[in-house]
Amino acid sequence: MPVITLANTKGGAGKTTATLILACELARRGNRVTILDADPRGWISRWHAIAGAGKLISVSSGVTEETIEDMTAKAKKRGGYILIDLPSSHDALLAKAVGLADHVLIPVQGCAMDAAGGADVLELLNELDARCGIQVAHSVVLTRVNAAVTTRALQAAKDFLASRAIPTLQTPIAERAAYRDIFDKGGALQALNPEEVSNLGKALDNAAQLADELIALLPQKAARPAARKPVMAKAA
Ligand SMILES: Nc1ncnc2c1ncn2[C@@H]1O[C@H](COP(=O)(O)OP(=O)(O)O)[C@@H](O)[C@H]1O
Ligand SMILES: [Mg+2]
């Protein structure tokens, strides 16, 4: 039951979009996914209200600093993956959501650390380690990367982050119409109509690659697909 917290104190960094991309891809693989919508603006809850997204994805709305621990514990009972979509505030809610995470994913556009919004989160992670000895695994994910961007420019952004010893996913999230349309149309990314959404296939491939890389970074007790039956122990 890994908990993944999406954090960046800058609005528009791509937290909510990355949450939905991951939720849809993890569910496509047969995993239960619970999204804790901790953003009072409720984008994920609005998306879910449009068309739902199958039985595997459940959304808990209105999660606050007061309820996040209980909601996380409840979601853990349900099993599967838990994704926390945060608002862009720098407050106790952020600190709690980071403390609860098995992995903190920090979406960042370009290499300017999103005007320090990503740096805020990294600072918080460092403080947790220095003051409380709590080490939370984390990585930056480059978002809204123009598909036409040269590999060299992308590598420069990765090198910049590496030079500051900031763990960064190899897979960036590209700028795709599908990642915008999903908020208007509701439902899963995979349910969008390829005739209506340009480059849907590329958006789905990107989602799969992102999930592959993230899953490999999660604790080994990672969520089992909902459909898989327990393995029976063999008699001695
Ligand atoms: N990879 C992407 N491709 C296309 N549009 C994106 C992408 N990531 C974010 N956006 C758009 O950018 C805006 C801000 O993204 P959002 O995920 O809401 O950021 P945050 O949750 O960090 O505030 C939204 O309008 C969203 O549709
Ligand atoms: Mg958001």
Long-range contacts of 162-168 (CB under 8 A, 24+ apart): 166/122, 166/140, 167/138, 167/139, 167/140, 168/139, 168/140, 168/141, 168/142
Residue 236's pLDDT is: 40
Assigned CATH class of 3-217: alpha beta
CA distances from 53 to 38, 47, 58, 112 (A): 19, 9, 8, 34
The number of beta carbons lying within 10 Å of the beta carbon of residue 9 is 24
Among 66, 65, 63, 64, CA closest to 34: 63
Q: Give yes or no for residue 16 CB within 6 A of ligand 1.
A: yes
Residue 203's pLDDT is: 97
Residue nearest to ligand 1 atom 14, measured at CA: 12
Ligand 1 centroid to 229 CA: how many Å?
37
Residue nearest to ligand 1 atom 12, measured at CA: 12
Residue nearest to ligand 1 atom 3, measured at CA: 175
Q: Where are the domains of the chain?
A: 3-217
Residue nearest to ligand 1 atom 10, measured at CA: 14
What is the pLDDT tens value at each position of the chain, 236 positions in all? 899 999 999 889 999 999 999 999 999 999 999 999 999 999 999 999 998 888 999 999 999 999 999 999 999 999 999 999 999 998 999 999 999 999 999 999 875 555 567 888 998 999 999 998 999 999 999 999 987 776 777 777 788 888 888 899 999 999 999 999 999 999 999 999 999 999 999 999 999 999 999 999 998 764 555 555 455 544 44
Rounded to whole angstroms, the Cα distance separating 44 from 48 reads 6
Residues 6, 15: contact at Cβ < 8 Å?
Answer: yes
Alpha helices, H only, 58-188: 68-78, 92-100, 117-132, 151-163, 177-185
Q: Give yes or no for residue 214 CB within 6 A of ligand 1.
A: no
Which atom of ligand 1 is the closest one to the Cα of 107? Answer: 22
Which protein residues have their CB within 5 A of the ion that is ligand 2? 15-16
Query: Each residue of 157-190: b (16+ CB within 10 Å) or e?
Result: bbeebeeeebebbebbbbbbebbebbeebbbbbb
Strands, E, within the chain: which ranges? 3-6, 33-37, 57-60, 81-85, 103-109, 137-143
